[in-house]
Amino acid sequence: MIDPGAFEAYRNSPNGKTTLPRLIAGVAVIVVFWVLSTLAVIFAGMSVSAWLQAGAGQAPDMAGFLATPVGVLTALGSFAGIWIGAWVAMRFIHGEALSALFGNSRRISWNGFAKGFCAVILTSLVSEILLYAMQPEIARGTIDFMSWLTALGPVALLTFLQTSSEELLFRAYLPRGLAKRFVSPVVWALLPVLVFTSLHWSTAATPVMNVMGLTTIAVFAALLMTLVYATGNLGASFGAHLANNLFGFLLISHQEAYNAFALFVARPLEGAGWSEAQALLIGGIGIVSTLLTGLLLLHPRSPLKVEPDLG
């Protein structure tokens, strides 16, 4: 049982300007800034890539560019627009400070952040062991160790930018605003989870793998929303989401498009050749890993149990 007190304070914190039309307008502003920042950083990134490849006489194409180290960093940097758009929406549409989205105390709980980060790292290791037992095809990545060490800082910072912006929009701005107007969690919790999940549709994956991948993402997104519900703060969801993505970007990658900085690469999940049984098993491992993360962060006897932010 989760005490709803923290989230009740969080959902009642918006002022009277948090109406449904203003919320829709705010989302539109955030999306516009997200699109503009994406176009800007991709243009800048491709310009840098073209300059670096000018000596080789190669013209970078979009798909090839996004798979390069510069392309990966560019893709992560494109999420800056969400932060900018959220600030504009909160300041000029709702008349609130951006920090109101962080939690009841109006600041990120770094204790919750650390617990969320540690819990996901632990369960990701368990998940990788199970995946290796099923499909022991892990090879050394293309990046050398010294380059990997050099890239740790920039990749971690840009990954935090990416994951925190998604949490700001899908676990704070939308749920907080919707919960102010609607009592049912079907509206303020399920709707943002479904929108977030749908954005991860992969055209390269097989239908069964796509369904299982989206199911796993939906369960993870539901856990992140539960952490905000339990704490009234974004700290734990920030840490959990960052650990999840950093593990795949820097340690063991299962995505061909984002393995430029990974020490090890496994068979791409979006590739062909996976059987339905394997896809179901992979999805099951992901769901069990997420549920285990939930136990670590929410069970009363867990040393990683998150605490509510009561302001």
Q: What is the 3-state secondary structure (H, E, C) of 223-255?
A: HHHHHHHHHCECHHHHHHHHHHHHHHHHHEECC
pTM of the model: 0.92
Pairing outcome for strands 252-253 and 264-266? parallel
Distance of CA 281 to the CA centre of its chain: 23
Three-class SS state of 96 = coil
Q: Taking residues 224-229, report their average pLDDT.
A: 97
For position 204, what pLDDT does the model report?
Answer: 72
DSSP per residue, 98-157? GGGGTBTTSS--HHHHHHHHHHHHHHHHHHHHHHHHH---EEE-SS-HHHHHHHHHHHHH
Place of tokens 């509510």: 308
- pLDDT reading at 103 higher than 90: yes
For position 8, what pLDDT does the model report?
Answer: 95
pLDDT digits (tens, 9 = 90+) for 235-266: 999 999 999 999 999 999 888 878 889 999 98
Higher pLDDT, 206 or 297: 297
Angle between helices 20-52 and 69-77 (to 10 degrees): 160
Distance of CA 95 to the CA centre of its chain: 27
CA distance 164 to 93: 21
DSSP per residue, 196-211? HHHTT--SSS-HHHHH
CB 101 within 8 A of CB 226: no
Domain boundaries, the chain: 5-298
Amino acid identity at 70? V
pLDDT > 70: what percent of the chain? Answer: 94
For position 63, what pLDDT does the model report?
Answer: 61
Report the chain's mean pLDDT, rounded to a whole number: 90
Which residues make Cβ contacts (< 8 Å) with residue 305, sequence separation at least 6? 115, 297, 298, 299
Which residues make Cβ contacts (< 8 Å) with residue 50, sequence separation at least 6? 59, 60
Three-class SS state of 265 = strand
User: Other CB atoms closer than 10 Å to residue 258's CB: what's the count?
Assistant: 19
The neighbouring-strand residues paired with 266 are 138
CA distance 217 to 276: 18
pLDDT digits (tens, 9 = 90+) for 35-79: 999 999 888 877 776 666 665 555 556 666 666 777 788 889 999
Question: Among the listed ranges 95-99, 142-146, 185-189, 220-224, which one has the minimum average pLDDT value?
Answer: 142-146
